[in-house]
Amino acid sequence: MTPSDYEKCARRIAGALQLAPGEKVLIKLDPRVFAPLIAPLQNLIRASGAHISGVVLAEDTKAGSDDEFASLRQLFSHADVFIWLPELHQGSRPALERALIEWLAARRGRAVHFHWHSGSFPIGFLELPPQDFIDRIYLAALDVDPADLERRHRQAAALLRSGSVRVTSPEGTDISFHIGDRPFCSQTGDATRERMQSARTRIDRDIELPAGVLRAAPIESSANGSVFLPVWRPIVTEGRNLFLHFISGHVAIQGVNADKIDQELTAAGGDARMFREFALGFNPALQVLPEAPFIAYYGYGSGVVRLSLGDNEEMGGANRGGGVYWNFIHNATVTAGDHTLVKDGKLATELQL
């Protein structure tokens, strides 16, 4: 990453927000990583007439207290915008997570997530490419036009509502579900105040950069079928050659270390065993490359499918508690009614950017 790269990142964050004079910006940062981004971002915030009203430092801890929550709650109450910059270990301590969720749920502000390092995942047993290779891909992914994404997302959302959605893969995934009237979260990279007027769910106010994914919490009980995973990565136990079998949204797991995964889901409680989410990526710069295959930025790449378990309140779903467990399929075929949206990991021509 060069100084000009960090300046590009700062411009993209500022461009997504379109800050207005007088707006108050709260930033979470980790001085151990991406420090060269801070100065150009500060300059752009001030040039817009907005100002930084507070800074929250990253902490690698799960400790917390009611007093800490009260302090952070007060900090958020005076903020119009929250910018979450990259961290060495991406995540929020409990008090900060509570304060952020409450602030977003109350529709008091808007946030940009710029996580960068934490969004890359291996495919199967392959290794991730070098970080400088990933950086080049992510920098290119920042250039996708929000208006183009919006048009493609609207097309896809209409198709996905047209009938039963089916996801298959050559390895044995075959699962069907219905979106129903659940809202879609369209991550186009637009975090303006104008865009927030159409926000229906909490996650609509939490804008990711790079952008590109279309997400929904399908009717949980409508999920039936199986998902194959060569490796289970979301939590501590590494299962292998797994089938996640869904009946009316409830999952049973079969494969290597399935019993340990089952124990961990039990310990998580809540709706950890429930079907949570369908997500489809649209960003061409983040698509899986044959020469260096990996899942880029949380599955936002063109044609990548994310199917997950657990809490989906942020998207307007019915699941509560139990955490969130992502799983990615890079070579899926997705149909809805008589329409094919994805074939063997490639978006249909009319949905491509």
Number of C-beta neighbours around residue 193 at 10 A: 15
Local confidence band at 108 (pLDDT 50, 70, 90 cut-offs): confident
Q: Which of 262, 264, 251 lies closest to 307 in space, CA to CA? A: 251
Q: Does the pLDDT value for residue 344 go beyond 90? A: yes
Distance CA 43, CA 171 (A): 50
User: What are the tens digits of pLDDT across the range 23-68?
Assistant: 999 999 999 999 999 999 999 999 999 999 999 999 988 898 999 9
Residues whose CB is less than 8 angstroms from the CB of residue 226 and which lie 6 or more positions away in sequence, other chains included: 172, 173, 174, 175, 243, 244, 245, 246
Report the predicted TM-score, pTM, of the whole model to 2 decimal places: 0.94
User: What are the tens digits of pLDDT across the range 233-266?
Assistant: 655 567 889 999 999 999 999 999 999 899 989 9
What average pLDDT does the chain have? 95
Stretch 290-301: mean pLDDT: 94
Distance CA 123, CA 145 (A): 27
Distance CA 97, CA 94 (A): 5
Which two structure tokens, joined as six digits, stand for 326?
């992502």
* CATH of range 3-119; options 3.40.50.2300, 1.25.40.420, 2.60.40.10, 1.10.1040.10: 3.40.50.2300
Which two structure tokens, joined as six digits, stand for 14?
């500022």
> Domain segments of the chain: what residues?
3-119, 146-351
